[in-house]
Amino acid sequence: MTTWLRIVIRKGVNEVIACALANTGFEGLGPDILIPISIAQRLGLHLSGSDADVYAVRTASGVAPIYRFKEGVDVRVLVDDRDVPIVRLVPIVSESVDYVLLSDKALTELGIVIIDASNGVWCFRDELGRVFRNSCSPG
């Protein structure tokens, strides 16, 4: 198992709840959140126009476009036992992903510490050594 976080992504009045992969191997330019086109559409993010810069990236199946938006989205980790601050992340949209992926810098902004990556155990930075949280199920 990998580490998955239940999050809410908000853009204006649009909101999506999703399980996001916490992946420190995704080294973003900043606090980035990679999202599939289906979620981008639900959030009202449009790939055409001047809202995003388009880049070509190499993937396992070839070269694919990604869209890095200029305006951020609000993201909050959902847990039952505490209030968690909202963090502004930069959305990147890709046709080649089926799930939400959080960059290393996004995890830092959200205050996430991965305790046991293979078993999906994590905590917030201020809980280290005291609280052990389990991943959500992405399916």
Residue 117: give its domain's CATH number.
Answer: 2.40.70.10
User: Quick check: 25 pLDDT over 80?
Assistant: no
User: Quick check: 56 pLDDT over 90?
Assistant: no
Domains held by the chain: number: 1
Residue range 68-87: average pLDDT?
96
Q: Residues, the chain, total?
A: 139
In a domain, 139, yes or no: no
Single out the residue of 25, 19, 23, 21 nearest to residue 6, CA to CA.
Answer: 19
Task: Considering only the C-alpha atoms of the chain, give the largest distance between any 2 of them, rounded to a whole number of Å.
Answer: 47
In a domain, 8, yes or no: yes
Residue range 111-133: average pLDDT?
96
At residue 51, the pLDDT reads 85
At residue 83, the pLDDT reads 94
Whole-structure pTM value: 0.91
In a domain, 75, yes or no: yes
In a domain, 106, yes or no: yes
Pick the more confident residue, 24 or 127.
Answer: 127
In a domain, 97, yes or no: yes
Range of the domain at 58: 4-134
In a domain, 12, yes or no: yes
Query: CB–CB of 1/119 below 8 Å?
Result: yes
At residue 84, the pLDDT reads 95
Q: Where are the beta strands (DSSP E) in the chain?
A: 4-11, 14-22, 32-36, 52-59, 62-69, 73-77, 87-94, 100-102, 112-116, 121-124, 133-134
